[in-house]
Amino acid sequence: MSTEENTNQEEIVQQETVAATESVAATAAETASAESGFLASFLSLKESNPKVFFGAIGGVILLLIIILSSGGDGNKPALSGPVLKNLAIGQQYTLKSANAYDANATVRLVSTPGAIAAYDDTEEADRNGACQHLPQGTLVSVLEFADAYGKPKSYSKVRVEDGSCKGNEGWALSIDIQ
């Protein structure tokens, strides 16, 4: 190849590069003007037809609310909590507070079923009364049951089988007997 042909080819490549650069710049300018044109026309809609303008904004917001609130997994696992055991009269069980994670929590025994809900033990004397609060793990025997709030065997009458309160009887929530 001659020097003249190489020079011609370099000029052609330079011209093509300049043309491509100008084309990209023109496309970018058209896109920017189209975006500003859309925004300008949307904002002019506010002046010319405010019902359509605010309706469109409300529609977008409503669509976002629907999208955000409708997600999620329908297969959520069921919450597992304390389960009422199938207790039997005459059997021995241990006391365990179903609603406490503290190992030092006690289980309340009362003289009549249902008195647990009405009991206020804010006084120190009530907390330390004779055989009213038994530590978890105390061995008890079930003597009888009482229904409450439409649920059978909600309360159990128990006799304490060990410790300093041995032989005492009282009512406890059946869910606290394991």
Quick check: 142 pLDDT over 90? Answer: yes
pLDDT tier, 150 (very low <50, low <70, confident <90, very high otherwise): confident
Measure the CA–CA gap between 36 and 138, rounded to whole angstroms: 78
Q: Given pLDDT bands bounded at 50, 70 and 90, which one contains residue 139?
A: very high
Average pLDDT in the chain: 77
User: CA-to-CA distance for 33 and 23, rounded, in angstroms?
Assistant: 15
Question: Per-residue pLDDT averaged across 95-121, rounded?
Answer: 76
- Are the C-beta atoms of residues 152 and 87 closer than 8 Å to each other? no
**Tokens describing residue 102:** 């503290």
Domain ranges of the chain: 3-69, 92-176
Q: Residue 4's Cα: distance from chain center in Å?
A: 78
Find the helix or strand (DSSP H, E) in which 67 lies.
helix 50-69
Q: What are phi and psi of 103, to 5 degrees?
A: -65, -20
Q: d(Cα 74, Cα 6) in Å, to the nearest integer? A: 70
**pTM (predicted TM-score):** 0.51
pLDDT of 52 reads 86
Q: pLDDT tens digits for 54-102? A: 898 999 999 999 988 887 666 666 666 666 778 889 999 998 888 778 8
Sheet holding 139-148, edge to edge: 92-94, 139-148, 151-160, 169-173
- 148 or 34, which is more confident: 148
CATH 1.10.530 for the 92-176 domain, yes or no: no
